[in-house]
Amino acid sequence: MNKYNLLPIAWREISNQEFTAAFMHYCLDPLEHRQMLYYQDGSKIGQLINANLFSIAGTKRQFPEDGLGVAIFRDGYECKFAKFGNDADWLKFESEFAAQFRGDNS
Backbone angles phi, psi at 20, to 5 degrees: -60, -40
Q: What is the pLDDT of residues 57-88, one digit of tens each?
A: 888 777 777 888 899 998 888 899 999 998 89
What single-letter DSSP state applies at residue 4?
G
pLDDT of residue 55: 86
| pLDDT at residue 93, rounded to an integer | 85
- pLDDT tens for 3-55 read 777 888 888 999 988 888 777 667 777 888 999 887 777 666 778 889 999 88
pLDDT number for residue 72: 93
Q: What is the pLDDT of residue 1?
A: 45
- Say if 76 falls within a structural domain: yes
Question: Which range marks the domain in which residue 14 is found?
Answer: 3-99
When divided into structural domains, the chain yields a total of 1
Pairing of strands 78-84, 69-75: antiparallel
CB 47 within 8 A of CB 74: no
> Residue 75 carries which side chain, given as an amino acid letter?
D
CB 51 within 8 A of CB 73: yes
Q: Please report whether residue 85 resides in a domain.
A: yes
